[in-house]
Amino acid sequence: MESPKDYYKILNVSKTAKADEIKKSYRTLARKYHPDLNPNNKSAEDKFKEVSEAYEVLSDDEKRKIYDAGGMDPRQQYTGQQPPYYQYTQSNDNSRYRDIFRDAFGDFDFEDLINQQTQRKTHRKSRQSFRGEDQIFQMDIDFITSVLGAEQTISLPTDDKLAVKIPAGVKTGQKLKLSGRGGPGFNGGPAGDLYIEIHVKPSTQYTRVGDNIEVEVPVLFSKALLGGSVRVPTMDGFVEVKLPLGISTGTKLRIKDKGIRKPQSPGDLFAVIKITLPKEITPELKEALKVWQETQPNSQEEAKQ
Amino acid sequence: MSKIEFSLVCEELNLEENTLTRWVESRLIHPVDTDGPYFDEEDVARLRLMMHLKDIYEVNDPSLEVILHLVDQIHHLSAELKKIKS
């Protein structure tokens, strides 16, 4: 008869070792010899089996007692090791896991995976039905769409088309939730949710400030002094705005309700005036200005005002 | 391949039902879905590997997902390589 193996020696612990010592040593050895990390290495696999066997006996108080007493061979109680995972994936042409990453992610992108993980929500359901996976997609929209809102049809990587209502005032980073449009549920479980993360392409012309929009409007200095009107671009065409007398650079003229078009409380659009000078100063203009300047008592004081 | 029921898998592997539910929901494990979730031997071997990673290597769920995706890719590539070689 084969002499019983020395499980203590296998696990590299003393006969008086405490449970946590045994566990620690088992972890260290199992890490080293794990068959899935040493595929096709027979000696590592044998060693792993041996270590697991020893741990199964020594980690169980009952079995350990029997073993210590030199009683019945505790290996009779040992459930035995199943083949390691890699053997299934190598021998089975129909392995469902080999191609998972292609099915689930199309062109596999590691960053996507990590992003999905951080955004995934876990849900608990009754024990045999499972909620579908939440999915998240990114979507770029124009600035004007973020102001006015719109309904857009998007194509998902799964080739499905989906009508998405983009509310006015949506911001970069905001996620639109489409309940039940994520991954299918399993065994009667509900489908997951689909999230569309919005990225608003910035405008070169407009700046968003809360629910208001600012747009810079150049005004020739003469118009600023003499009065007149300017054309201010808005999301739906130009609006003619009368200039109050004596405006200067930075003055903001409000155009009501032309900002973010929130249905209940639309924001305003502000024309931010920028006084400009003519490209060419004609002798007549120079002369006129000289005459004006001479009427000013102190031009330094003027600048301070 | 034999089919094993949800609760039997938990019992056999000494795995908490909550954990298995979580792993299925996050698609780390894909049970066969004819007449309720069944797990085959490959699933069980995969679950055993996952439990090893969790218990022996103290890997948490997000890391587990990354590791399994890498493992899946390696298996996929090595199978492809085998095909090319033969």
Q: How do residues B25-40 score in pLDDT, each as one tens digit? A: 888 888 877 666 788 8
Continuous segment of H or E residues that includes residue B78: helix B61-85
pLDDT at site B30? 85
Complex prediction ipTM: 0.75
CA A139 to chain B, closest CA, distance in angstroms equals 24
Closest CA to A196 of A142, A134, A147: A134
Classify strands A212-220 and A269-276 as parallel, antiparallel or unpaired.
parallel
Between positions 4 and 33 of B, the ones with CB within 8 A of A are 6-7, 17-18, 21-22, 24-27, 30-31, 33
Closest CA to A101 of B32, B46, B71: B71
pLDDT at site A97? 74
Q: Which residues of B touch A34 (CB under 8 A)?
A: 52, 56
Which 8-state DSSP code applies to residue A77? T
Tell me which amino acid residue B39 is.
F
Classify strands A194-200 and A206-209 as parallel, antiparallel or unpaired.
unpaired
Phi, psi for A48 (deg, rounded to 5): -60, -40
Listed in sequence order, the residues at least 6 apart from A33 whose beta carbon sits closer than 8 Å to its beta carbon are: A44, A45, A47, A48, A51
Provide the 3-class DSSP secondary structure of residue A257: coil
Other beta carbons within 10 angstroms of residue B45's beta carbon come to 19
Q: How far is CA A190 from the centre of its chain?
A: 23
Classify strands A212-220 and A206-209 as parallel, antiparallel or unpaired.
antiparallel
Q: Which residues of A touch B57 (CB under 8 A)?
A: 27, 31
The verdict on pTM exceeding 0.80 is no
Q: How far apart are CA A155 and CA A160, in angstroms?
A: 6
Classify strands A150-155 and A161-166 as parallel, antiparallel or unpaired.
antiparallel
Q: Which residues of A touch B33 (CB under 8 A)?
A: 186-187
Beta bridge mates, A161:
A155
Listed in sequence order, the residues at least 6 apart from A97 whose beta carbon sits closer than 8 Å to its beta carbon are: A89, B30, B42, B46, B72, B75
CB pairs under 8 A between A and B: 110
Contact A113 B65 (CB under 8 A): yes
Within chain A, where are the H helices? 7-10, 19-33, 42-58, 61-68, 85-91, 100-105, 110-119, 143-148, 221-226, 283-294, 299-304
Chain B CB within 8 Å of residue A109 CB? no
Q: Token pair of B2, please?
A: 């034999």
Within B14-60, where are the H helices? 17-25, 41-55
- Residue pair B33/A187 in contact by the 8 Å Cβ criterion: yes
- Residue pair B49/A36 in contact by the 8 Å Cβ criterion: yes
Counting every residue written for chain B, the total comes to 86
pLDDT tens for the 305 residues of chain A, in order? 455 678 999 999 998 999 899 999 998 898 889 888 887 888 888 898 889 888 888 988 888 888 888 765 655 544 555 677 877 776 666 666 765 544 444 444 555 555 555 554 443 334 467 788 888 888 899 999 999 999 988 887 777 788 889 999 999 999 998 888 888 887 778 888 888 899 999 999 999 999 999 999 999 988 988 889 999 999 989 999 999 887 889 999 999 999 999 988 999 999 999 999 988 889 999 999 899 888 887 655 555 55
Continuous segment of H or E residues that includes residue A90: helix A85-91
pLDDT in tens, B25-83: 888 888 877 666 788 888 888 999 999 899 888 899 889 988 988 888 888 888 788 88
pLDDT at site A105? 42
Q: Which residues of A touch B27 (CB under 8 A)?
A: 100, 104, 133, 183
